[in-house]
Structure 1
């Protein structure tokens, strides 16, 4: 017999997991509607590889400030739902402004605004979901896999529907899914309020002082440099090898397809290994896949390699989120996730976008992916060296 109070909490937890799944699905569906064709859109607008790299680099550069700002604000005042809804609604509206405006400097302004409001969303949701699954005994991967599914469906579907002469649908879908879908779901996500959260500066001091955490942040910066080249120039590399619009969409869908089973079932066997080992496995897996992608000479060869990058991402990201949650002081989950996101998707991504754009202009996709592989191996080395104290 289940006591009424316990039964009510279980029902609320079940509702919370459902909302989390829906939020991940809608958010990453929004990303899947824009990311595969955004740089193709910029290229069609007449921007050079270096300009595309600079513009792509603005997103994470703003994220370097925006993620910690919104995460700390949500933690300090315990207003996670309100911050989620605000950021989703505003970023959705900004997406629609890409339709009437064009030109490099107009795009610069829109990219800065979009990054400021959209970037903190995943970190706040991840922190909230980690708290939720700890209470219910579920797993983060079982919730996050719905984001991969949404990304696959939208990126693959749009790849078969859009034409390069009219990319307006990608901005409409991105804006509506974010502004309406995520805006409403953000208000429904159950987030536990803490009456006495750890002070910001005290918590940051504790977090930075954790053994191995500094090396983790440096490794994430290097990983961001490598990942930015992979992501920002995937579509252009596919088309340079003779791929079609449909193959561009398929490439992005394949990049996430193995994330789904890995996140659904991986927690069972990944629990046998330390988060440190899993993070290193993800780093090395990325490097191996990108080496193959850099040497690929046909769209088919590229498509065959891409899914294994998704598997590497699933291993790395589940372990990285779990590692961050484990070292975060009480009440600072969103801040900690935002800080790690700022290192990887902020500083690292900004540097990597500019670097990859310059490499693309001279050496093309082969150079971009070989450089990304080398930098990711450097990330593995830094993390292995810096986190060695955890084993001792």
Structure 2
């Protein structure tokens, strides 16, 4: 049995190693696809599969976990299976249909991992009087510190090493998952008292669809989701194609990718910690507008295809804009939705920002690169961010319809 002190801080350790596992492959996978001969259109299609499958599978996993109390078992299975499925990419032999099949199967199991880890972390934090944000920041630190190391290793020993690194790191996570307290269905009554504002559990997404239509009838909330989608296109383009973008400059691409991701990850940390203070000082609308404009600057700089030193400075802006937009958007969705739909509002914001924008950006982005290159891709993202900023500014002039409102 673990001592009380060790048990209290066990999720800090768990998140630390979990985000090392993410760092081993996530920033480098699209670069590996390029090295394996895939076109940007094919890479975009592959990256759109995850968000699409996630729309369907995350509520399914959530309902299974909710009904059977098997969060621990789901984590062990998903973490044990996903790296071996990913390894199959090495044997696709340039058969694109095989890539698609692997990606679908991978998305089915991978869609359970991150939401369940977040849900378990929130539950642990509540039971131990800890801050979810403080635990999550440990993951950002480990991601930022390890991604450069992985980049150096892949540059020296070959990019295919990422599959071995992912298998090893996820095997460690499987072992650590055995020490997580098992779900008890009797705990559900207590679980209902968890603050919905900070509970990202996928089981809550099961109620999202029946509450979605009444929520979308709220004019102010619908007008909020439109600029969210527009602004989210840039970050989702970046998720799919940033490593490909860096690789086209030539040189030691894997090492550069690691350094750039480290900079953005470290820049996120103080912003996540200070986001509440920033929102209180500026208000939701001003914060969203300014962050969108800052994002436009970021995309415009990338459209110029500048020197690596400029890209390094630009990654600071990347970490700041990502963390602040996400924190502000989640809290705005909560505070500007009716009482009985707050969980749905949170889930809907995440679905629009991640899944829907990801599907569109991944598919369209590959074709845009083929037509006009990265200048057109990131120039278009900059224009969309300005358009989104205008949408948020206009939202501040729309009168609420009986909803709660933070300082605008």
TM-score > 0.5 by shorter chain = yes
Range moving further from structure 2, 276-285 or 187-196 = 187-196
Determine the structure 1 residue equivalent to 2:133.
141
- Equivalent-residue separation in structure 1 for 2:182 and 2:338 (angstroms): 20
Match for residue 233 of structure 2 among 212, 215, 225: 225
Please name the residue that 2:109 is paired with: 117
1:194 aligns with 2:188: yes
Does residue 64 (structure 1) correspond to residue 55 (structure 2)? The answer is yes
The worse-fitting range, judged by mean Cα deviation, of 179-188 and 341-350 is: 179-188
2:77 alignment partner in structure 1: 86
Question: Per-residue CA shift, 1:70-105, capped at 9, x if unaligned?
Answer: 234334554433333332222233223334443222
How far 1:359 sits from its partner (Å)?
A: 1.4
Distance between the aligned counterparts of 2:206 and 2:256, measured in 1?
48
Partner residue of 2:177 out of 176, 182, 185: 185
The 3 A distance-change label for structure 1 pair 183 and 95 is farther
Q: Give 1:295 deviation, angstroms.
A: 2.1
How do 1:11-90 residues align onto structure 2 when only pairs under 5 Å count?
A: 11=4, 15-16=7-8, 18-90=9-81
Residue 182 (structure 1) shift: 5.2
The answer on whether the counterparts of 1:85 and 1:187 sit within 8 Å (CA) in structure 2 is no
Provide the C-alpha distance between the structure 2 equivalents of 1:249 and 1:371, rounded to a whole number of angstroms: 26
Q: Secondary structure at the match of 1:35?
A: coil
Q: Is the 8 A contact 1:87 1:117 kept in 2?
A: yes
Q: Any idea what SS the aligned residue of 1:306 has?
A: helix
Q: 1:166 Cα shift?
A: 2.7
Decide whether the 8 Å contact of 2:80 with 2:174 is kept in 1: yes
Judged with a 3 Å threshold, the aligned counterparts in structure 2 of structure 1 residues 189 and 369 are, in CA distance, closer, same or farther, namely farther
Is 1:344 the counterpart of 2:353 in the alignment? yes
C-alpha distance in 1 between matches for 2:165 and 2:86:
9
Deviation at 1:155, TM superposition (A): 1.8
Offset of residue 43 of structure 1: 1.2
- Measure the CA separation in 2 of the matches of 1:260 and 1:83: 29
- Number of residue equivalences: 380
Q: Does 1:363 align with 2:372?
A: yes
Q: Partners in 1 of 2:204 and 2:276 — Cα distance? A: 32
Give the structure-2-normalised TM-score.
0.78
C-alpha distance in 2, partners of 1:85/1:256?
Answer: 26
Bigger CA drift: 70-79 or 341-350? 70-79
What is the CA-CA distance between 1:266 and the residue it aligns to? 4.3
1:236 lines up with 2:230 in the alignment? no
TM-score (normalizing by structure 1): 0.81
On the 8 A contact 1:206/1:329 being kept in 2, the answer is no
TM superposition shift of 1:310: 0.7
Between 1:322-331 and 1:277-286, the stretch displaced more is 322-331
Q: CA deviation at 1:357?
A: 0.8
Answer with 213-222 or 26-35: which moved more: 213-222
